[in-house]
Chain A
Amino acid sequence: MNNLLAVNGLGITFAIVGAVCAALFAGIGSAKAVGFVGEAAAGVVSVDPSKFSKVLILQLLPGTQGLYGLLTAILLLSRIEVIGGSPAELTGIQGLMFLLQLSPWQ
């Protein structure tokens, strides 16, 4: 129990780390995918420039997908009222739950 009590002060920290994870890993995933698609797309377009539009769509999908991570982060930050100026009082357990919910290894 002592350990849990020590963790209690860290509630808000855990939650913010969760928000960071959500935005960070979604962003990394998006960036990597853009890279993959870009490599393939460059090849396709150099052979057949008229395929540009098709390839553009493939490029737009991963390129715009990482935003969901940012969205999740924003929603969490507004849920724990960090956006708005006065962070909510969270227990360590609550914070950990936010962290686990938002991290990619859930």
Chain B
Amino acid sequence: MAKLKMKKIELIALQTDSKKIIELLQRRGVVEVCRDNDELPGANVAAVINDFERYQVTVEQALDILEQTVPEKVPLTEMFGCRKELKTDEFGKKATELEKSLSTAGSILRSKRAIADYETEISRLNVRCDTLRPWEAFDLPLNFKGTSSSSAFIGSFPTEITAESLESKLSGNISAEVISSTKGQTNMFILCMAENAADIGSELRKIGFVQFSETDKRTPKEIISSCIEEKKRLEAEIEKEKTSIISCADKRMKLKFTADYLQMRKDKYEVLDSLGFTDNTFVLTGYIPEKYVSSIRNEIEKKFTVSISITDPAEDEDVPVLLENGSFSAPVEGITKMYAMPGKKDVDPTPVMSFFYYLLFGMMLSDAGYGLLMVIGTTIALKKFKLESTMQKTLRMFRNCGISTVFWGAMFGSWFGDIIQVVAREFFKKEIVSTALWFQPLDDPIKLLLFSFGIGILHLFLGVAVSGKMAWDEGRKLDAFLDTIPIYLLITGVAPLAASILTSVPAVLKNIGTYLLIAGLALLILTQGRSSKSIFGKFFGGLYAVYNVATGWLGDILSYSRLLALGLATGCIASVINLIGVMPQGTAVKAIVLTAVFIVGHTANLAINLLGAYVHTDRLQFVELFSKFYTGGGREFSPLAVNTKYIKFKEENINE
């Protein structure tokens, strides 16, 4: 339970065995290799790693292209990113096909590139067609300059203009013909005598004529039709390349395998880089969780000539952290990791918060119907789907939260809001007052508010207790008491006094509270300034601590009012949904509408409030609880392992 004890492993073996040993360690996935012997040179493998990276990029790109062209049909049971299982001997066989896979990947990439080229060419042809389209009716080549005695101008005006008006505008004798015209442009063919050509040309330019520049000797119609033919040919080529990509679809698995294989090789070589080499031996240092030490040691010593020494890591070393918890707490590990891995002095907060995580989540969602859905959904998913271990943990967490939700929902009498009461009233003409095992929050919100504060105080007291235990373990035994007991006294004392504002509290409790409060205050003032030298420092340090505790704890405890707010929000919205469902008249219509509204409304409500409960539970743990004892800042244990995306080995990995 909690952080696993880490040992330092130092392994010296023959260089000839280096790759085999690293492969074995990779399969077992329990050793994190670190480089800390700078005296010995590492293997120079940067070039090899580079190659692997390049190949890997090729294969990944090829897979991407395949996915775009022929999307893979994934069976429902593997939706959650499960990797295919593969036996070790199959792996050996497939590894020999590397060359073939790489050439497949290469040909896919080439096809893709060709398709891209053809597509640019097609868009170029499209542009050309578009510019020639207005000239389609013109039956001379566009570079026609005239005959021996006449000169021709082919081009356009940026305005709409008729042939007659142009002819009258110009001084010389011309013959103009409008080929096509739009509002913003008139395309014209203008003919004049050869000797007038220069004058006419300059006059035309003055009124905005732009000559069409074209070198092709064919008529516009011919050019357009040849463009269209070319386009057809290119489209056929694209189809051909696409079919050749599609024909590679059955090699997808092989490509995935290759990607993973390259990743493993790369990881292995990166480790080689961090080893220390002598002429004939190599040294590997790393961290290994204590519980795997003997099995790894036996296995390696049996197969190879090695010397393994296991030591405790030094105080100042950056030892990685691996968490291990029982089946009750382990699902919440993800939440801890999201905040931060425990640092050197921290305890693993997972077991501290797991119980309260489920409890708080349940109180916030607090609807037995929604809880049941969560439990059923996650249980089915856990049974039916093959899942990776982190996904499994998350689902288990939500299942446990669901169980807690059912509990609190039943306590507060909320089953999909008040659906039981509504159905009984509308369809069976019976009044059910309440299904609550305890009480309905809407009847007495103040009671639930006080209960929430109570839960909050317990939650925070737990945090303080953990900080006390940590101080005790470090040998600061006096601190362990002085930093916890006064706070307990003070808060326990204030609680009944504060509660008396909102509700009636027996006088005895108030009296006891007053005494506890005074005792707590006195202790705080007397002890909290103890690190200060002067008597004044001690006194004011104590006062300052009182101020801190008062403001800090007030805010922290009030924060638990969100248990009430979120719980009520779920219930209120759910009730409103049911209310909308039974609005219509007539039993049959009512039943149909209610069913539809029920399904849509409660799905939305569940989604919103699941998210709310999750976020707010996280907040209570991170902001309110963790601030009492937890700093974090550790580094997660990341062992040399088979770090694959698509395939998974059977048996092999013990740390999974």
Task: Give residues in A with beta carbon < 8 Å to B.
Answer: 52-54, 56-57, 60-61, 63-64, 67-68, 70-71, 74-75, 78, 83-84
Contacts and interface: CB of A to CB of B under 8 A. Distances in A.
A52 B338 CA distance: 8
B561 interface: yes
A74 B564 contact: yes
Nearest to A71: B565
Most B Cβ at <10 Å: residue of A57, A61, A71, A83: A71
| Contact residues on B (Cβ < 8 Å of other chain), bracket | 20 to 34
B255 to A, nearest CB: 28
B623 A57 contact: yes
A53 B339 contact: yes
A67 B569 CA distance: 10
29 contacts: A53-B338, A53-B339, A53-B340, A54-B340, A56-B339, A57-B622, A57-B623, A60-B618, A61-B619, A61-B623, A63-B615, A64-B619, A67-B565, A68-B561, A68-B562, A68-B565, A70-B569, A71-B561, A71-B564, A71-B565, A74-B445, A74-B564, A74-B569, A78-B442, A78-B446, A83-B442, A83-B445, A84-B442, A84-B443
A83 B444 CA distance: 10
Interface in B559-575: 561-562, 564-566, 568-569, 572
A67 B443 contact: no
Nearest to B565: A71
A32 to B, nearest CB: 17
B339 A74 contact: no
B632 interface: yes
B616 interface: yes
A53 B632 contact: yes
Interface of B: 338-340, 442-443, 445-446, 449, 561-562, 564-566, 568-569, 572, 615-616, 618-619, 622-623, 632
A61 B620 CA distance: 10
B615 A64 contact: yes
Contacts of A78: 442, 445-446
B622 A75 contact: no
Q: Which 8 A-B pairs have the closest CB atoms?
A: A71-B565, A64-B619, A60-B619, A78-B445, A53-B340, A53-B339, A67-B562, A70-B565
A74 B568 CA distance: 8
Contacts of B622: 56-57, 60
Contact of B616 (A52, A67, A75, A83): A67
B398 to A, nearest CB: 19
Contacts of B339: 53, 56-57
Nearest to A84: B442
Contacts of A60: 615, 618-619, 622-623
B412 to A, nearest CB: 14
A78 B443 CA distance: 9
Contacts of A52: 338
A63 B565 CA distance: 15
Contacts of A84: 442-443
Contacts of B623: 57, 60-61
Most A Cβ at <10 Å: residue of B442, B565, B569, B622: B565
A75 B445 contact: yes
Contacts of A75: 445, 449
A56 B340 CA distance: 11
A71 B445 CA distance: 10
Contacts of B618: 60
Contacts of A57: 339, 622-623
A82 B83 CA distance: 55
Nearest to A52: B338
